[in-house]
Structure 1
Amino acid sequence: MLRSGLLLGLFWEFGAEEGDEVAAPEMPFVCLTDFQAQARERLSKTTWDYIEGGAGEGFTKEDNIAAFKKIRLRPRYLKDVSEVDTRTIIQGEKISAPICISPTGFHCLAWPDGEMSTARAAQAADICYITSTYASCTLEDIVATAPRGLRWFQLYVQRDRQLNKQLIQRVESLGFKALVITVDVPITGNRRHDIRNQVDLKTNLLLKDLRSPKESSGPCLQMSSIDPSNCWDDLSWLQSITQLPIILKGILTKEDAELAVKHNVQGIIVSNHGGRQLDEVLASGERGVEEVLNILKNEFHTSMTLTGCRSVAEINRDLIQFSRL
């Protein structure tokens, strides 16, 4: 839901045809579900299935939603919450709230400006935007359109080590602040909707290589070029070629979290890829994107105020309990 809300926020005020602007909705959008409903009406079935679809039977995707529904808050009252500060720091960088845009590819499916619109919205909201290896805009265009934004780069480790090195050097030169290595995609998951819709990631989704515009030759990135042999021992090589903090995305077990610490990575992102990779694992429009982010920030501020938290540092496990549905 969060994935689709952020990505489909690009699309909410436009028709399904590129450039077709339609009237704004009569009722304002007040939550992410509103964006989801509008986008489902306007996106093509193939695009909707690609964005919203899970792997296999979709059990993990459904469990993700169910897990969030089980979370209940335990508010503490009679505290001075006349001033609430949602700001926090990640990897040494200040952001307006502990909300980030996770890496998702092919934003051009929702709007022609694609990731450029997403980057501008993230900059306006003062949050971190993690740019995908399979962005549908060049890295240079993303940086140029939102030069003050905080950006991390997500890397699918490629079979060609030289290509990995070139990409990492390139994002360093462009001012990206961290390298996010996705670890849960040695191969693409069994996404049945995409198979039925005959989705071709190379052609139908306008997959662009991420070579610099100045480069005229070299290998082109493809989903099939992801290295399935990538393992813990390869982290030392990645650490040797970059000064960027390395974050591992896709960690799901205590054992792997401990291994991440052992291998001196700077952080982990607990993620099951939105249920789009291995099914049955445990649950873990520029203007439109701005609206989605504002809703999330406002809801977070409201929740902090009503639970008696004046700063992010005051949020702790005592505020959370899980209900039995």
Structure 2
Amino acid sequence: MSALTTIPADIACLADYRRYAEQLLPSPAWHYIDGASADELTKQANESAFARWQLIPRVLSGVTNINTQVNLLGQMHQFPMLLAPVAYQKLAHPSGEVGSMQGAAAQDIGYILSTLASTALEEVIDYKQSADCWFQLYVQPDWHDTLALIQRAEYAGYSALVITVDAPINGLRNREQRAGFVLPAGVSAVNITATQSPQGLQACLNAAPTWQTIKQIMASTHLPVILKGIIAVEDAMLAKELGVAGIVVSNHGGRVLDTMPASVMMLSLIRQAVGNDFLILCDSGIRRGSDIFKALALGADAVLIGRPIMYALATAGPLGVAHMLRILKDELQLTMALCGCASIADISTKHLITLQT
């Protein structure tokens, strides 16, 4: 089945987009997009973890206007969220990364393009409007290939590098193995060549980046560098000491190592360790505007939205992505209003209570 030309009337939240995507996508593509590592316990934890915190509303607050602006890397963003880097978006819709960029631009939301995009990085940024566009970098086995990618991103106009550091090897993707997933004709990582991807566990480990690699990259670019895939407090502290611009607290949506803690569970610990003067983004499992609110209360400056991009693209193309983001924006503003928060700066842990387990 192909994507719909209009948004179904019964879509009211992001879970509805997931339901439609499962119906519309070919089974192998669906299992690749929706699946995670091994028994998918981390993926399940990412979403259920948000329920551990309950919201404490404030009444009679007098809030009449909601300001959702945040400053990220010196640039003002109208909402504290960006589209996460997601590979092979043409699996979901022929427009691929261009379609998701169009949806993000329509809602004035920042965008991060994956190294494994199925559209040329120069083409995608042509659809950029006011919101920032960053480039996610997978360090390549050959340094010259890595440097060439960085230089292409700089020249094209991307304003930050987001280096994924938590996936030196692929996770145990049992669900996509069972489904027999292979990339279909016409979908590939067009920004890199096949020879740039190492094959085999030892080859991958030999090519894996280290802290020294990050230093080398920082010395080779004028762009701010963000490290994506930080879960350990110690790694967050090392990243700050190294002088990177920020981190993304992320477990890769549960796609690499199973039984990791949910990203949101580590937020407050990492924020306490690095202080308030360090950029922290968070992804993995955000499906509601109230999830965004909770992540911000626990220490994130903004969040990244991942799989829902593919669900929305598969359902209704660029229009679906724009609508999905509109839902999140409306839900966040509603949550802020009911909790008595007129601005992002008003959101704190005083609005949360932890359920006992």
Length-normalised TM-score, structure 2 = 0.79
1:274 aligns with 2:256: no
Name the amino acid aligned to 1:303: T
Amino acid across the alignment from 1:197: A
1:210 counterpart letter in structure 2: N
Q: Hey, what's the Cα distance between the residues in 2 that align with 1:87 and 1:149?
A: 12
Following superposition, the deviation at residue 253 of structure 1 comes to 1.0
**2:126 partner SS:** helix
Aligned-residue identity in percent: 37
Q: Who is 1:130 aligned against?
A: 112
> Shift of the alpha carbon at 1:219?
6.7
CA positional deviation for 1:103: 0.8
Q: Deviations over 1:146-165 (max 9, x none)?
A: 35442111111111100111
1:50 aligned to which of 32, 37, 56: 32
Rounded Cα–Cα distance in structure 2 between residues aligned with 1:24 and 1:177: 32
Mark the CA change 1:128 to 1:22 in structure 2 (over 3 Å): closer, same or farther.
closer
CA contact (8 A) 1:163 1:219 kept: no
Let me know the Cα RMSD of the aligned residues: 2.0
Does 1:167 pair with 2:149? yes
Q: 2:187 aligns with which of 187, 201, 206?
A: 206
Alignment match of 1:300 (pick from 319, 332, 336): 332
Tell me how far apart the structure 2 counterparts of residues 31 and 137 of structure 1 sit (CA, whole Å).
28
Structure 2 Cα separation of the partners of residues 150 and 143 of structure 1: 10
Structure 1 equivalent of residue 244 of structure 2: 265
Deviations 1:82-102 (A, max 9, x none): 111111111111111111111
Letter in 1 for 2:336: M
What is the CA deviation profile of residues 139-196 of structure 1, one whole-angstrom value per residue up to 9, with x for unaligned ones? Answer: 1110122354421111111111001111101111111111001011110101001222
In structure 1, what is the Cα distance between the partners aligned to 2:148 and 2:129?
21
Picking from 140, 143, 151, the partner of 2:125 is 143
Q: Amino acid of the residue matched to residue 92 of structure 1?
A: G
The Cα shift of 1:209 comes to 2.9
Structure 2 residue 133 is the aligned partner of structure 1 residue 113: no
Question: How far apart, in 2, do the equivalents of 1:113 and 1:48 lie?
Answer: 17
Structure 1 Cα separation of the partners of residues 129 and 113 of structure 2: 14
The residue aligned with 1:214 is: none
- SS of the aligned residue for 1:145 comes to coil
How far off is 1:250 after superposition?
Answer: 0.5
The Cα offsets for residues 238-270 of structure 1, whole Å up to 9 and x where unpaired, read as 011101111011100111011001111110100
Whether contact under 8 Å (1:208, 1:221) holds in the other structure is no
1:251 matched to which residue of 2? Answer: 230
Report the counterpart of residue 34 of structure 1 in structure 2.
16
Gaps of 5+ in 2: 264-316
- Does 1:286 pair with 2:261? no
Structure 1 portions without partners, runs of 5+: 1-15, 212-217
Once the two structures are TM-superposed, the CA of residue 34 in structure 1 deviates from its matched residue by: 1.0
Aligned residue number for residue 350 of structure 2: 318
CA distance in 1 between partners of 2:185 and 2:337 (Å): 46
Mapped pair 1:241 → 2:220: yes
Cα distance in 1 for residues equivalent to 2:158 and 2:135: 6
Say whether 1:157 aligns with 2:132. no
* Matches of 1:196 and 1:252, distance apart in 2: 29
CA contact (8 A) 2:134 2:158 kept: yes
Whole-Å Cα distance in 2 between the matches of residues 24 and 101 of structure 1? 20
The structure 2 residue matched to 1:222, chosen from 179, 197, 207, is: 197
Matched-pair contact (CA < 8 Å) for 2:7–2:320: no
How far 1:75 moved relative to its partner? 1.9
Partner of 1:231: 210
> Shift in Å at residue 223 of structure 1?
6.8
Q: Given that residues 130 and 152 in structure 1 are in contact (C-alpha distance below 8 angstroms), is that contact kept between their aligned partners in structure 2?
A: yes
Q: Deviation at 1:220?
A: 5.0
Residues 282/28 of structure 1: CA separation in 2 closer, same or farther (3 Å cut): same
In structure 1, C-alpha distance between the alignment counterparts of 2:103 and 2:198, rounded to whole Å: 27
User: Is 1:188 the counterpart of 2:170 in the alignment?
Assistant: yes
